[in-house]
Amino acid sequence: MKRILYTLFTLWMIATLVFMMTTVLPGSAAHMILGQSATEERVAVVEEELGLDEPIHVRYVDWLSGVVTGDWGESFMYKTPVFGVIWPRLMRTAQLAVFATLFVIAVSIPVGVIAAANHEEGLDYGISGFSYIAVSIPEFVSGTLLLLLLAGPPLNLFPTGGYTAPGESLGDWLSHLVLPSLTLAFLLLAHVMRQTRAAVIDALQSEYVRAARVKGLPEWVVLFKHALRNGLLPTITIIALNFGWMMGSLVVVEEVFNYPGLGQLIVQAINNRDVPLIQMAILIPTGTYVFANLGADILYAYLDSRIEFGKGS
């Protein structure tokens, strides 16, 4: 219960910070709508229509109550409710995040186990070297390299950017997801690989693994059933936390691949001083990170019977 209350308090603090940051943004939303040559009288009329002339504490209470009730206001830029603008973009962004996470799980955990099984051998050094290089490459660099290698001549395997809805063409939808998903997954792949390797190496030195080997169990059973099962607990936390981190990396990735998701929408909203859109477009990814953290704690407690979620945190 304490952990849930702490999560709610964190969300409130984040929401308050987002509101304060957007309040002090340079430039005027009214000027962005009317143009820089607009008269002060016309600007004052628009600010009154948008509620920007209200005291800051009144705007804060109105906005926070709207966040809770689902009334997110109206976009200055699109002249439609913020929810209707964000929802399709959020779904496209979620597709990227889910594809990237599935790729990370499918690749990094087995590779981490292989590295642990070959500890301090050539294969382990090679995998570790790759992970150290991968964590040092920014998303815009890895994304650009993937575009040059796989989307450009002579291969031309994937489109250079854009988006196709799955209802229009399933094949095109998947092909447009591959490169941005791989870019998102690249850095997380290295983190999870290293965490899995370290956790399995530690588990291989435990008494229950020695007992399993004494029983004559095959090495693959020892690795995947005993060592990996117990070593997965910290890895789960890394995956959950980095799922939220991926939401924050989307601005760069979506700009590189011209992908019409939430990250690209944030850039457009900031450029146009669309305050209601900026607030929710930033609050959603940060809120996702907080809930991913909470979900990791709950799952960790479920998998490890020694942890009592309700009492221990």
Ordered per-residue pLDDT tens for the chain, 313 residues: 787 888 889 999 999 999 988 887 766 667 666 766 677 777 788 777 777 778 888 889 999 999 999 888 888 888 899 999 999 999 998 898 889 889 988 999 889 888 988 888 899 899 989 888 888 888 889 899 999 999 988 888 999 989 998 888 899 999 999 999 999 888 788 888 888 888 888 888 888 778 877 888 787 787 777 777 777 777 877 777 776 667 667 788 988 999 999 888 988 888 888 888 999 998 988 888 888 778 777 777 776 655 454 554 4
Last residue of a domain, one of 44, 69, 94: 69
Alpha-carbon distance 275 to 269, whole Å? Answer: 7
Whether residue 195 contacts residue 112, with contact meaning beta carbons closer than 8 Å, is answered with yes
Same domain, residue pair 56 and 180 = no
Q: What is the pLDDT of residue 313?
A: 44
Alpha-carbon distance 250 to 110, whole Å? Answer: 26
Half-sphere exposure of 180 (CA within 13 A, CB side): 34
Same domain, residue pair 49 and 156 = no
Same domain, residue pair 227 and 120 = yes
Asked if the structure places residue 77 within a domain, the reply is no
Same domain, residue pair 35 and 135 = no
Same domain, residue pair 50 and 174 = no
Alpha-carbon distance 295 to 28, whole Å? Answer: 39
- Residue 299 domain boundaries: 85-312
Asked if the structure places residue 79 within a domain, the reply is no
Same domain, residue pair 175 and 30 = no
Same domain, residue pair 161 and 190 = yes
Residue 21 CB neighbours (<10 A) = 12
Count of structural domains within the chain: 2
Global pTM value = 0.79
Task: Report how far apart, in Å, the C-alpha atoms of 153 and of each of 157, 158, 159 are.
Answer: 9, 11, 11
Task: Report how far apart, in Å, the C-alpha atoms of 265 and of each of 77, 175, 270, 273 are.
Answer: 11, 22, 9, 12
What kind and span of H or E run contains 296? helix 275-303
Write the secondary structure of 168-221 as one string of H (helix), E (strand) and C (coil).
CCHHHHHHHHHHHHHHHHHHHHHHHHHHHHHHHHHHHCCHHHHHHHHCCCCHHH
Q: What is the pLDDT of residue 28?
A: 67
